[in-house]
Structure 1
């Protein structure tokens, strides 16, 4: 058997990161919908809590994937700077 090449490892890492970013977005949508349900009275919780959860979900949907991409990009550039044996 042949060992996986660097290209295969990079593709696997990219696929995993893409899935993580999409799960983060789906989590943001779920929080946003839950917050909307609270503010509309579907779920019996305080209105202010619904607004806070909705705002967090909104931010999670738009901001978290960008933060993850920035962290992963900095990890990639740091890994490229280290000498390979």
Structure 2
């Protein structure tokens, strides 16, 4: 009998990838604002804001959505 895939493992991986993507966006935005990447400063600011949202808010929203109902 084949074991069913564990949805908690997939959700944990998804949350981790979302967090790391957010961190990457923040770092990219900071590099743009520091002048290391030739893009307008507003692009850097937007990436930092979106990255912070991805890293801190999205995992909480998804965890609440995926929370099992008792």
Regarding TM over 0.5, the answer is yes
Shorter-chain TM-score: which interval?
A: 0.7 to 0.9
1:21 to 3, 7, 15: 15
Give the alignment's TM-score, normalised by structure 1.
0.74
- Rg larger in structure: 1
Query: Structure 1: where are the runs of 5+ without partners?
Result: 81-85
- State the superposition RMSD in angstroms: 1.6
Give the alignment's TM-score, normalised by structure 2.
0.88
Distance 2:2 2:52 in 1: 42
Kindly indicate whether structure 1 or structure 2 has the higher relative contact order, using CA contacts under 8 Å at least 6 residues apart: 2
Query: Structure 2: where are the runs of 5+ without partners?
Result: none
| Structure with greater helix share of residues | 1
